[in-house]
Amino acid sequence: MRASSSVWPIPVTVAPDKLAQIQSEFSREWLRISTSAQQGALAPPADRRFRSEAWTSHAASLMAAHTYLLTAKTLDSMVDAADIDEAVRKRLRFSIMQWVEASSPANFLVTNPDAQRELIKSNGQSLCRGMANLISDLQKGRLTQSDESQFELGKNVGITPGAVIYQNRLMQLIQYAPTTQQVYKKPLLVVPPCINKYYILDLQPENSFVRHAIDQGHTVFLVSWRNPATTDTDGVDQATWADYLQEGVLQAIDVASSISGSRQINALGFCVGGTLLASALSLAHARGKQPVSALTLLTTMLDFADTGVLDVFVDEQHAQKRDQELGQGGLMSARELGTTFSFLRPAELVWNYVEGNYLKGQLPPAFDLLYWNADGTNLPGPFFSWYFRNTYLENNLRVPGKVKVGEHALDLGTLSMPAYIYASRDDHIVPWQAAYATTGILGGASRFVLGASGHIAGVINPPAKKRRSYWAHDDAVPSAAPATGAAQWLDNAAEHSGSWWPDWAAWLSTRSGAKVRAPASAGNKKYTTLESAPGSYVKVRAQ
């Protein structure tokens, strides 16, 4: 196997003995498949795309499915055997994966017996509906992954009662109404990722993390990041990483502290929101302030040494391109961000919908999480270019003093408050080992908890569903725990059935102060209600 292009500037070779072994395995498996097919005994493949009766009852289609899967397996074996640097191997594997998923016989009408049956059964109407779906998606500029007509923000998603009590050019701050007569003295500030909209944490009442925290007696404040648009004229497209720390996170902390009357509050950051939160607190510490007494980080990276599959996009050439395009202003579009993340899992998030929406003329079912997933956000160009270079490329945040905001050098090791660090075991965006590495960066003792499932489904796991599980230790992880200890940590961890939310709630309750009477209304004299939750910023859709 050889390749020579701008992507692969050096030959990609496989040693003769390894290539011979791969060829032998291919021939042996091909003979088995062919013989079984001739005898009418070819079993259905395990792959869900080819398990239906239409595939298994049609000999040619079943053979095509097995041939496709064998080819995919062989290509993977050749990538594994290639004599190349590991970084090049990752990129080659990613590229091969894209080609393999795109070439599945399930993706084409002429080779998909399920779609052909639907075409005949509907007298051609499935094809008409499919073309209508395709035209609609082309107009939207994205795949439809959920029946979006069934959801409306503020009506049946993002409906936890609250009020916007502060806003600036980067964010609105929401204070939620209490559901208990007494609340903890220290409020909880939630910092979601600015790369997505906050209501992933407040989808519907039965799976709202925000509602769960409120029901535990916490006064919850939440940052709703602005979705900048090309038509904005206030300079938001020039906002920097430092702006997000100061005008975003630290300003939200000041407001929450003022309204609650608590000198210190508790804070939670999710994904990029956790990176922002930890960086902002490091800046506050450099200025001689310690505004947060207990820190929660959900699927967050502070050490970017292992960025998982996203590593295929990270190199100096890409960083320079972003610096030139966006470093002085402009927007990183939600469409580009959304497409990138979808193609990290193309079988599930792209080609599955090509088959259903276009070949079969179906509409996907209503799913609140996927409705949210399609509601993307733009990012200010300078923010994005700084973030890409200083985290994914150069991994500067974890180095004490390497990053400065003005005259203040950031040192995440100064964060000595207790921390609750959550990771998802099957997370393809934040590998759980990378999240565990945070325990070796923060200066205080951490409770590390590992949940089942992925980046979003692992986090949004309400207790009432009684689904999945999580792993934890009785003892906290000591400060400066080595990242290499992740595997050992898991080996010694106990698995618990159900949601990790009660574990977190029990941890936070002992660090939230005494109970006081719940506030009768949102805000105070200085910060008054501007509008009802979910607010106007979150309703702006990216074009």
- Three-state secondary structure call for residue 439: helix
Question: Which residue, among 359, 372, 357, 369, has the nearest Cα to 144 in the 3D structure?
Answer: 357
User: What tokens were used for 447?
Assistant: 């409770």
Residues 102 and 346 sit within 8 Å (Cβ to Cβ): yes
Active site residue 194: no
Q: What is the DSSP string of 261-327?
A: T-SSEEEEEETHHHHHHHHHHHHHHHTT---EEEEEEES--S--S--GGGGGG-SHHHHHHHHHHHT
| CA pair distance 124, 16, nearest whole angstrom | 51
The DSSP bridge partners found for residue 475 are none
| CA pair distance 293, 420, nearest whole angstrom | 12
Residues 227 and 199 sit within 8 Å (Cβ to Cβ): no
- Three-state secondary structure call for residue 380: strand
Q: How many helices (H) does the chain have, and how many strands (E)? A: 19, 17
Q: What is the DSSP string of 83-143?
A: -S-HHHHHHHHHHHHHHHHHT-GGGSGGG-HHHHHHHHHTTTHHHHHHHHHHHHHHHHTS-
Residue with tokens 């100061």: 246
Residue with tokens 């193309």: 346
- Give the relative orientation of helices 16-38 and 59-81 as an angle to the nearest 10 degrees: 170
- Three-state secondary structure call for residue 223: strand
Of the residues 33, 64, 271, 286, only one is catalytic, namely 271
Residues 537 and 330 sit within 8 Å (Cβ to Cβ): no
User: What tokens were used for 232?
Assistant: 């904005």
Amino acid at 57: S
Residue with tokens 């609750």: 420
Residues 364 and 145 sit within 8 Å (Cβ to Cβ): yes
Q: How far is the CA of 374 from the CAs of 25, 144, 342, in angstroms?
A: 42, 8, 10
Question: Which residue, among 329, 225, 234, 219, has the nearest Cα to 277 in the 3D structure?
Answer: 225
Residues 493 and 469 sit within 8 Å (Cβ to Cβ): no
List, by residue number, the catalytic residues: 271
